Amino acid sequence: MTRNRYTPGMLALLLCLAVPDEASDLLKKVEDKAAAAASLRWKATAEIQDKQDKRVLVIEAAFQKGNRARVTGSSKPGSEPLSFTYTCDGTRVVSESSFQRRAESAEADPEVAAGLNRWLVIAGSVVLNHLKPNTPWGKLREAAKVKGHSVADETLDGRPAKRIAYAVEIESLQLTIDLWVDAKTLAPLRRDTAAEKPTHIRETFEDWVPDAELPDELFRHKP
């Protein structure tokens, strides 16, 4: 009979060492699945707590192959008035908000929509204050350091879910994130983000539809 070479303590250590890889692998599957869809539509409510201030935003996003993207946000009644719109029609990006005048790019980065899609899956609405026409989302995603910490099986609002704990770091931005995804479809259900300042953001996804039918006019620039 062959003796087990590993003590219980060693086995526990090996299991702990495997957890970060499992978290990183699962997070990549979530990101890649969103990126692989011919189109994607989602809606979320973001509760943003910064010191003593709290804002609640309704965020809607749509992505389509052909470098098309549209992200909008507006504050709920009772919150500080805030709104923004970011649209890429495939060739040009236009953005405007309640705190920034309308601005546009002469020519869109060919990876801007795909890069922004991946960024929002990984980092969430904390990046929305950087929605400017010339932001190189694809390059930023490549430069970001994403480190998985752990994965846990949980139930969220009656749905079997997996909670992925991870960290995102790029330049001076450091985020600690818990992302709950549907155990079967990997659709995001909720995200809790802790950033510096201090800031805490909870995003609750009300809608997540891959391969959704999206009208062409959704991505057209309005005068």
Report DSSP state, residue 81. P
Task: Name the stretches of the chain with pLDDT < 70.
Answer: 1-20, 79, 129-130, 197-198
CA dist 29 to 136, 155, 170, 186, Å? Answer: 23, 20, 21, 8
**Domains in the chain: ranges and CATH:** 20-208 (2.50.20)
Inter-residue contact 219 to 70 (CB < 8 Å):
yes
CA distance linking residue 57 with residue 115, whole number of Å: 22
Q: What is the pLDDT of residue 77?
A: 76
Q: What is the pLDDT of residue 189?
A: 98
Structure tokens that stand for 188 in this block: 């995001």
Q: What is the pLDDT of residue 172?
A: 78
Q: What is the pLDDT of residue 221?
A: 86
CA distance linking residue 31 with residue 206, whole number of Å: 18
Q: What is the pLDDT of residue 130?
A: 64
Q: What is the pLDDT of residue 12?
A: 46
Q: What is the pLDDT of residue 18?
A: 41
Q: What is the pLDDT of residue 223?
A: 73
